[in-house]
Structure 1
Amino acid sequence: MAVTEAERRAMTRALELAGNGPRGLNPQVGAVILSADGEILAEGWHRGAGTPHAEVDALSKLAPGAAHGTTAVVTLEPCNHTGRTGPCSQALIDAGVARVVHSLDDPGDVSGGGAERLRAAGVDVESGEQAATARTVIADWLEVQRLGRPHVTVKWAQSLDGRAAASDGTSQWITGPDARADVHRRRAASDAIVVGTGTVLADDPSLTARDGDALLPHQPVPVVIGSRTTPPGAALRRHPHQALFYDTRDLAVVLDDLRERGVQRVFVEGGPTLASAFVAAGLADTVLAYIAPVLLGGPRLALTDIGVGGIAEARRLAVDEWMPLGDDLLVIARPAAATEGD
């Protein structure tokens, strides 16, 4: 059965509702319950881990038995597993829903399969309605499912000859105000900002996202990796979010823990040692290189050892964009192998 105009309008509404939910460990999902004649009976969305999923939230607003013979319009395939809550597919079956229209299939090995359960129970299921829009709404969550960890952006600023600082260690400022403003906008689009203890001790960064002196509405959680102690008076300890500290060199362990905390996008802004470690480990999904038209010379390279012994082992990148920022240039790139697999 083709998707009706009423169902199409309901999906548009469900996608709007999905945006009410928080980004985090679970996807943002919206749901609308329609009567047999296409009237909206109830709406719902997922409010975060441990709370009712969107379908159950919508069903809870109906009187017992009122969902019998209705259509559930949902932005993601109803889940098929028991976690903190029960399977939404079974909740829809128990409520007597006759038809389900969803945008995207659930990619989870455990949570997926809800459509099959629904069909086996005699429920009519239609998928793919406004899938492109739904994919955009939960793009970051979908990438976490694909990668098995948060998306990692590694950023550095460098001189034209590849230095991150002058010979005496000073680096403020290699790039100009336009480039620095761009960095703050990208910080605000991330869930966590990661530095090493070396950067904390040398620069005492606040790790906030700012517009001039004003804090931007969304602030990434500050994350510090390394064994050295961060001073009690460090600027990052005054951050709006409590900082997370990891005394480990195992970046995969850090990313696993951040994923469990609901972090989807990580912005690595440490010095050359930390940036190089992420690149060497194959954990740089996006590279942001801010290049200033200045020559510094000396030993303080923007990247150090990344595990390349010869040109055949070079970590080749595909450039997504060359972006002028005042006198500076931002190169946005990603591993060429990832591009070939898209």
Structure 2
Amino acid sequence: MRRALDLALRGPAGGANPQVGCVLLAPGGAVLAEGWHRGAGTPHAEADALAKVPEGAAAGATAVVTLEPCDHTGRTGPCSVALVEAGVARVVFAHRDANPLAAGGADRLRAAGVAVEEGVLAAEAAEVNERWATAIRRGRPWVTAKWASSLDGRVAAADGSSRWITGPQARLDVHRRRAAHGAVVVGTGTVIADDPALTARDAVGRLLPHQPVPVVVGRREPVEGAAVRTHPRPLLRVPGHDPRAALDAIVAAGLTTAFLEGGPTLVSAFLAADLVDEVLVYLAPTLLGGDRLATLDLGVPTIGAQRRLAVREVHRLGDDLLVVARPHGAPGSGDPSGSPDPGTPSSHSEGS
């Protein structure tokens, strides 16, 4: 199963489908084939592995899969049927499919006489697809909000300049995490102020294999020569300033995760609406002072209403620190119509 999990991670993250890996084992235990899902519309992991063996070679085999084989016909056929037709005798999978439209493969396999074992490395497999599964259950993308600030919580100097607060290791980490999401979201203020490319790049500036879809939220159109218009993925424009409308547009594009890189206005609008699932704060050992804070009004009138976060990880990145936290015990959702316009020029995109 650990090998299947490694294979699953080769597939793109943040799309409409989960990351899934499969290993086919001969009755004697030898590996017959390996497969993984490469994105919506491509063969699922089980079908990918089965296609790599001659017809009849999978008879009596064991399929080790990170997710319950699907029982749904969409762009591809159900993996449960493919495994039965191939003569696979045993299926071992990590955890059940969170998508009710695709679940049920285990029951079909058992009904066809295939031995089924579930729950192997379930926690590790669930972590691989945590964002996808959460998005399926909630009906909206998983949202990661990211900002870089000084130790005193400022994201820019008094004149608005913000490049660079953090060092190269922190910025490289931003690009890696960008690539792990389906969409990267900024406001038009960030586009105007910083002209970010919003691509995911390596240490020497080369594009990473997976690129998030650039999403620009706000009333103003990016100018024709804006760097975001040269992004390898088509630009998704969301007019207005409703965070929920932005998430609806991302869902409609077939994406399940969003990396929120806008400035304080955009980030605060999502936070105030309780639409953030994870917060990444890159802290640089510097002081800036002034009024350019990382967040604006979050609807916290008293200390008793503060929005508590649970710290999950802390990483040292050169001279900088990365704090990964998730909201818990947050107050009720605010009215997005009363949130500030994320298109106002009070933002920056640290990874650019």
TM-score after normalising by structure 2:
0.78
Q: 1:240 to 1:91 in 2, by over 3 A?
A: closer
Q: 1:61 to 1:289 in 2, by over 3 A?
A: closer
Q: Is the 8 A contact 1:188 1:216 kept in 2?
A: no
Report the counterpart of residue 49 of structure 1 in structure 2. 40
Q: Is the 8 A contact 2:92 2:120 kept in 1?
A: yes
Q: Is the 8 A contact 1:25 1:260 kept in 2?
A: no
158-167 or 222-231: bigger deviation: 158-167
Give, as a single letter, the amino acid of the residue that structure 2 aligns with 1:276. S
SS, match of residue 70 in structure 2: coil
Report the counterpart of residue 20 of structure 2 in structure 1. 29
Report the counterpart of residue 108 of structure 2 in structure 1. 117
1:87 aligns with 2:78: yes
Distance between the aligned counterparts of 1:77 and 1:26, measured in 2?
A: 13
Shift of 1:185: 4.2
SS, match of residue 72 in structure 2: coil
Residues 282-315 of structure 1, C-alpha deviations (whole Å, 9 max, x = no match): 1222222334431422x43321122223333221
Q: Is the 8 A contact 1:165 1:296 kept in 2?
A: no
1:77 aligns with 2:68: yes
1:245 aligns with 2:237: yes
Report the counterpart of residue 8 of structure 2 in structure 1. 18
Report the counterpart of residue 5 of structure 1 in structure 2. none
Give, as a single letter, the amino acid of the residue that structure 2 aligns with 1:172. R
Q: Which runs of 5+ in 1 are unaligned?
A: 1-10
1:39-188 matches, within 5 Å, as: 39-61=30-52, 67-177=58-168, 179-188=170-179
SS, match of residue 109 in structure 2: helix
SS, match of residue 28 in structure 1: coil
Residues 195-236 of structure 1, C-alpha deviations (whole Å, 9 max, x = no match): 101111122222234456623524433221111011001122
Distance between the aligned counterparts of 1:97 and 1:327, measured in 2?
A: 53
Residues 173-203 of structure 1, C-alpha deviations (whole Å, 9 max, x = no match): 4445554444344434444321101111122
Q: Which runs of 5+ in 2 are unaligned?
A: 331-352
Q: Is the 8 A contact 1:317 1:336 kept in 2?
A: yes
Give, as a single letter, the amino acid of the residue that structure 1 aligns with 2:287. V
Q: Is the 8 A contact 2:202 2:208 kept in 1?
A: no
**Equivalent of residue 274 in structure 1, options 258, 266, 269:** 266
Shift of 1:143: 4.1
Q: Is the 8 A contact 1:33 1:41 kept in 2?
A: yes
Report the counterpart of residue 289 of structure 2 in structure 1. 296
Distance between the aligned counterparts of 1:65 and 1:46, measured in 2?
A: 22
Q: Is the 8 A contact 2:132 2:142 kept in 1?
A: no
79-88 or 133-142: bigger deviation: 133-142
Distance between the aligned counterparts of 2:201 and 2:181, measured in 1?
A: 13
Distance between the aligned counterparts of 1:212 and 1:42, measured in 2?
A: 34
**Equivalent of residue 300 in structure 2, options 285, 293, 308:** 308
1:208 aligns with 2:196: no
| Count of matched residue positions in the alignment of Structure 1 and Structure 2 | 327
Greater Rg over alpha carbons, structure: 1
Give, as a single letter, the amino acid of the residue that structure 1 aligns with 2:100. D
- The percent identity for this pair of structures is 61
Give, as a single letter, the amino acid of the residue that structure 1 aligns with 2:296. T
Q: 1:206 to 1:94 in 2, by over 3 A?
A: closer
Distance between the aligned counterparts of 1:267 and 1:35, measured in 2?
A: 41
Shift of 1:280: 0.7
1:221 aligns with 2:213: yes
If asked which structure has higher relative contact order (CA below 8 Å, sep 6+), I would say 2
Distance between the aligned counterparts of 1:189 and 1:20, measured in 2?
A: 11
Give, as a single letter, the amino acid of the residue that structure 1 aligns with 2:289. L
Q: 1:323 to 1:109 in 2, by over 3 A?
A: same
Residues 104-134 of structure 1, C-alpha deviations (whole Å, 9 max, x = no match): 2222222112112222232221112343453
SS, match of residue 80 in structure 1: coil
Distance between the aligned counterparts of 1:61 and 1:178, measured in 2?
A: 40
Q: 1:121 to 1:213 in 2, by over 3 A?
A: closer
1:286 aligns with 2:278: yes
